[in-house]
Amino acid sequence: MCKRQLLILCSIILLLFTSCFEFVEEISFNKDGSGSATLTLNLSKNKTKITSILLLDSINGYRVPSKNTIQKKIAEVVKKIKKTKGIHNVNSTLNLDEYIVAISCDFDTVDALNSVLIAFSSKKQGQAIKNRKHFTYNKTNKTFVRSHHFNIGREFQNTKMKDRKVFETATYTGVYRFQDFVKSCENKLARISKSKKAVMLRVKAQDIITNNQTIKNRIQLQN
């Protein structure tokens, strides 16, 4: 996704110019619609390259952040998330040996997750989330919808050509777990687990950017 939607963390990736990374979104639901969420940015496949880059002051005109700066940025993200109503137990882990960053929290409702996204979005994008919502969970109908309403392709076109290489082998993975059995899901790329209580979707970043694939999904649980 574009830099803004990755909660500052993707900005760090762009500064490091590594083209092989994975963004993982995991959400686990309770029957009442509350649950927990974890966002993970995994750069471990390029750790040797990143270690070398971190020794530089700048690259391709970008200032290379120090490890201390990266830690401070993540702390700022966590602090901002903690201020969101309906969000609890916010934690982060940063492995600077493998270059894996994860931020997790518990939520009362998925509306709280939407509020987190709004906090890191522009005014226009925030209003779009308020109007159409990225996440909805209907505990009566037992339906979960994962959507998005940003024109990622347009954001991508506004970046420099040399910066676009960061997305060549990048991937997005969404994992959604439930206490009820999954009846169906609309995204054709999504896979229901053998236990019937989880759905996974893995998409190449380039396919999302070019609108060849989507991370949107509607998951119906059994009554």
pLDDT digits (tens, 9 = 90+) for 156-170: 555 555 555 666 678
**pTM, to two decimals:** 0.85
Distance CA 89, CA 81 (A): 10
Which residues have a Cβ under 8 Å from the Cβ of 174 and sit 6 or more positions away? 24, 25, 26, 146, 199, 200, 201, 202, 215, 217
- Whether 47 and 78 have beta carbons less than 8 Å apart is answered as no
| From 30-39, 154-163, 170-179, the region with the lowest mean pLDDT | 154-163
Of 163, 131, 161, 162, whose CA–CA distance to 149 is shortest?
131
What is the per-residue pLDDT across 185-198, written as a single tens digit (0 to 9) for each? 999 999 999 999 99
28: helix, coil or strand?
Answer: strand
The ranges assigned to domains in the chain are 4-16+23-221
CATH topology classification for 4-16+23-221: Immunoglobulin-like (2.60.40)
Which residues have a Cβ under 8 Å from the Cβ of 16 and sit 6 or more positions away? 43, 50, 53, 54, 64
Q: What is the mean pLDDT of the chain?
A: 84
